[in-house]
Each structure stands twice: as structure tokens, then as C-alpha cells.
């Protein structure tokens, strides 16, 4: 799942950008093993989380996009990332989320299997 791209891109540009994002997500998944939820900035892992929690774990580094990917390698647990805007994004098991803009402030792993 990725944030919507800015309007005005040609179909070819959108396809190239999508392929680039997919490559980055695959590369991130290669370095984040089960049962972690990992955060990558420019392809470098900057954090990983494993514990199911009832509340958000604050992210003191407050990473921001672009080129920020959250990879959920868990088989049956969703992960929520909280943005500085106050909104939260749910990441399904074995999926990734790319942050094109915005700042992450927290993460929570939930034992539910669907968003």
C-alpha cells in the first residue's frame, strides 16, 4: 500500500515510479525477517519492532518521508503506524507501506489478522 502519487504524472512516469517503489519494498523485505515490523529510510533499516502492544510505542527519531518504508513481516498480526497529523495507517500481515510525505510518531503491533 502506498500513499497516492501527486497528480499530473504521465502513465509512463506513474508506472516507473510504481516499479521503483516495488523494488524498494522488495529490498526492504529481504532485510527484515519474521516476526519483525521494520522501518527503512532510503533502503537502510532504522528500526524494528516485535512486541504486540496495547498502545503505541513512540518513535523518538520521528522519521519522515520520502523514501520511508514500513515492512510488516508478521504472518497474522497487523501493524499500525501513527503519523504526526494524528492519522494512523494499518499495514496488513506480510505487506509494506511507503511514506511519501509525513512523519511517523508511533507504531503498534496488534494481534488482529486484518485491518
**CATH numbers and ranges of domains, the chain:** 11-110 (2.60.20)
Q: What is the CA radius of gyration of the chain?
A: 14
Query: What's the pTM?
Result: 0.73
Please say whether the beta carbons of 95 and 73 come within 8 A.
Answer: no
For 75-108, the pLDDT digits (tens) are 999 999 999 999 999 999 999 999 988 999 999 9
For 30-83, the pLDDT digits (tens) are 689 999 999 999 999 999 999 999 999 998 889 998 999 999 999 999 999 999
Check residue 27 and give its pLDDT: 52
Amino acid at each position: 500500500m502506498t500513499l497516492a502519487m501527486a497528480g499530473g504524472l504521465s502513465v509512463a512516469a506513474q508506472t516507473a515510479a510504481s516499479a521503483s517503489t516495488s523494488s524498494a519494498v522488495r529490498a526492504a523485505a529481504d532485510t527484515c525477517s519474521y516476526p519483525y515490523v521494520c522501518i527503512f529510510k532510503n533502503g537502510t533499516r532504522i528500526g524494528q519492532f516485535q512486541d504486540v502492544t496495547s498502545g503505541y510505542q513512540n518513535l523518538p527519531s520521528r522519521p519522515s518521508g520520502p523514501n520511508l518504508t514500513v515492512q510488516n513481516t508478521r504472518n497474522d498480526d497487523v501493524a499500525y503506524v501513527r503519523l504526526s497529523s494524528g492519522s494512523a495507517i494499518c499495514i496488513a500481515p506480510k505487506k509494506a507501506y511507503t511514506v511519501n510525505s509525513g512523519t511517523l510518531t508511533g507504531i503498534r503491533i496488534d494481534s488482529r489478522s486484518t485491518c
